[in-house]
Structure 1
Amino acid sequence: MTHIPPLSPRPLRHLSHVRRRVLTAAQLRGQGVTGADVNERCRPGGPWQRILPGVFLLHPGPSTAEERVHAALLYAARSNAPAPARAVHIPVQPGAEDPHAAQPYADALITGLAALALHGFTSAAPLLSLDTIDVLVPRMRRLRSTGCVRIVRTPSLPAPAFVTGVPVAAVPRALADAVAELTDAGAVHQLLTEAVRDGYCEPASVVKELTAARLLGRPHVMGAVDSLKAEGRAIAETHLYRMVHEHGLPDPVWNVDLRLPGGPHLGGLDAYWPEQAVAVELDIRTPRQDKDAVWAEYARKREYLERLGITVVHITPRKLRAAMEQQAAVVRTALMASNDRDPAAHVVVLPR
């Protein structure tokens, strides 16, 4: 049999790194491995196997989850340049990364349930149990789904997130691609709830991706999104409670409606300090709503309340989670500034 040069001073079979266990035909050719050599080694009972078209697993037996993900990316990548011909002369210290081991994954991202599993979702099935791995590629790529790979096309490839070095779609996009293949309402609800509850993303970003994917017309998706909005509000309210108590703000009255005595309803507020006439309102708009119309309503209410001498602080769930101390400082400043303002009009405070 033709001698196959090793990819490092150690024999190929002793290399455990996944990027040494899964290689493309182009990469093997770059190491002097001919097509005939590959065919010989991939015969039944041989030491290698073809895992996907043009992608080879350099050991017998089942592939690992990591190998399947790597193979899927190599199959879908725009180009897989062969490793440098002189790679054989580069010594690799035990435990060190071979400088030529990194492979390009041009124009390919893991998405869908596989991406959610990599992000750490407990409600997503483990990678090894997935029949298919979704790979996101630009629409014009000439690729077809095959084996364990399902090709998902997009007009513009989003910027990747990296999980243990693997390029994956950000959580909102991965959710949309996963939901597109799911018909079980419970599974959709679990994924969306975990995304918001565990802080992977905001409800608005999820709804934006679902809207772009034209999935909101599906009844089981619409139901999950309605629950998602309620979940997002509950989480934001919890963070608001934490902000008040952990940053030493005085206790407000929570979830109230304001009315003028004997007059019209002024609107609901998430927190209100009657003595200082300072209010906090959570901004939980989603892309499903008409942004201009909803914001106009926010602005009208705020303007009316401020004409009555009530300071309104708008806080988004994202800012509340990512910059709680800064938001607490804004509220504290508004409370302290109340001493320098004219007294506010008398309003009736009712539970909401």
Structure 2
Amino acid sequence: MNPNLIIDPSLRRHCRYGVIRTTTLERLGIPPRTAYRRCQPGGPWTYLLPGIVLLANTRPTARQRVEAGLLHCRGAGLLTGFEAARRYGLRNVPLSSEVHLLVPSDSQLRSPGFVVIERTTLLPGRRMVSGVPTAPPARAILDGARRIRELDPVMGLLIEARQSGLCTIAALSAELESGSQRGSALPRAVLKRLLTDLRSVPEARATGIWRSAGLPPPVHNPALHGPDGKYLARPDLWCDEVALAWEIDSYEHHYRHADYGDTLDRNTRYAGAGIVLVQTLPSRLKSAPAAVAAELRAAYEAARARPRPAVTIQHSNVS
């Protein structure tokens, strides 16, 4: 018998993405003992979960791990958490090989290997995402966020969910109120903070540095207009007293090829309007906060030493 049975069409018809149950293999004439022997080191197959194997001697892909988790749940599982968030297109998701699945509260399933089984009385309606039964975006994102204990990853995940248009703050807040309260304290605090319209994790950290510099309270993301009423820009933080703008310019979000020209045009408008501009990389907010605070103070003094330009703001949010 050919040990590399993945090439056998009879097996391909009974597996998905190379993942198959040992009970299915047994019906096809391959006893469980033989299947598990082929999953030993050097063998042609890979053990994934109890009773579930991969018909290849390779590291399982994310899709193969998900398929194994769904087989483990026997059709009752709903993908949620980080893997679901990635399938919805989010990028700012903590790295994890876990497959987090929701099942009905009366289920007796356990959490083997890389699979996390969460029993819930609030099983949401399923959405099919690339053939995978998946929890709705707000539920999936918050199920992941509830498992994080650090501020920045939670804030990054929720900010991207909002800015991508996948979820509104209102939808996330409603889901948080109606769902499990376990691990909800940090996501709840982040959502409250997001209501102030902070646009990024670096910007949130920047607010603390601004305050440590002893500057007047900043305005977050105001729309600036020149004396002719034309729109100029929307800085991350703004000191209206002296017309000082601070931009947290990350390489990823501001210096991608498609955005580079827009950033240069923005800076030209700042200069033409007489606005003093400070630009800071997010990495320096964490590595050199004292130096950044000193730069802000110096820029503030320079701005205060010249006549304030005729710049107005709209839709301000002072903190």
Range into which the TM-score falls when normalised by the shorter chain:
0.5 to 0.7
Q: Which runs of 5+ in 1 are unaligned?
A: 78-105, 234-240, 242-350
Equivalent residue number for residue 199 of structure 1: 165
1:269-348 superposed matches below 5 A: none
Is 1:116 the counterpart of 2:85? The answer is yes
Query: What is the TM-score of this pair, normalised by structure 1?
Result: 0.51
Equivalent residue number for residue 191 of structure 2: 225
Deviation, 1:225, is 0.8
Change over 3 Å in CA distance of 1:199–1:138 after alignment to 2: same
Is 1:162 the counterpart of 2:131? The answer is no
Equivalent residue number for residue 32 of structure 2: 35
2:43 is aligned, of 43, 46, 55, to 46
Deviation, 1:115, is 0.6
2:39 is aligned with what amino acid?
A: C
1:1-352 superposed matches below 5 A: 10=9, 12=11, 19-77=16-74, 106-125=75-94, 129-211=95-177, 212-214=179-181, 218=185, 220-231=186-197
Deviation, 1:9, is 6.6
Change over 3 Å in CA distance of 1:156–1:5 after alignment to 2: farther
Q: Distance in 2 between matches of 1:16 and 1:189?
A: 44
Q: Distance in 2 between matches of 1:20 and 1:187?
A: 31
Deviation, 1:67, is 0.9
Runs of 4 or more, structure 1, over 3 Å off, are: 3-12, 15-18, 230-233
Q: Distance in 2 between matches of 1:6 and 1:46?
A: 12
Q: Distance in 2 between matches of 1:20 and 1:131?
A: 17
Change over 3 Å in CA distance of 1:9–1:46 after alignment to 2: closer
Deviation, 1:7, is 8.7
Partners of 1:161 and 1:168 within 8 A in 2: yes
Change over 3 Å in CA distance of 1:27–1:20 after alignment to 2: farther
Residue identity over aligned pairs, in percent, reads 32
Partners of 1:193 and 1:231 within 8 A in 2: no
Q: Distance in 1 between matches of 2:86 and 2:115?
A: 16
Change over 3 Å in CA distance of 1:7–1:216 after alignment to 2: closer
Q: Which runs of 5+ in 2 are unaligned?
A: 200-222, 224-314
SS of alignment partner, residue 201 of structure 1 = coil
Q: Distance in 2 between matches of 1:29 and 1:17?
A: 12
Question: What value does the CA root-mean-square deviation take over the aligned residues?
Answer: 3.2
Partners of 1:111 and 1:173 within 8 A in 2: yes
Equivalent residue number for residue 287 of structure 1: none
SS of alignment partner, residue 19 of structure 1 = coil
Deviations 1:73-130 (A, max 9, x none): 11122xxxxxxxxxxxxxxxxxxxxxxxxxxxx21011111110111101114xxx41
Partners of 1:176 and 1:206 within 8 A in 2: yes
1:10 is aligned with what amino acid?
A: P
1:123 is aligned with what amino acid?
A: N
Q: Distance in 2 between matches of 1:114 and 1:196?
A: 18
2:20 is aligned with what amino acid?
A: L
1:204 is aligned with what amino acid?
A: A
Change over 3 Å in CA distance of 1:215–1:162 after alignment to 2: same
Query: What is the TM-score of this pair, normalised by structure 2?
Result: 0.56
Partners of 1:113 and 1:124 within 8 A in 2: yes
Deviates further, 107-116 or 155-164: 155-164
2:193 is aligned with what amino acid?
A: S
Deviation, 1:31, is 2.3
SS of alignment partner, residue 139 of structure 2 = helix
1:44 is aligned with what amino acid?
A: P
Q: Distance in 2 between matches of 1:20 and 1:183?
A: 34
Deviation, 1:24, is 1.0
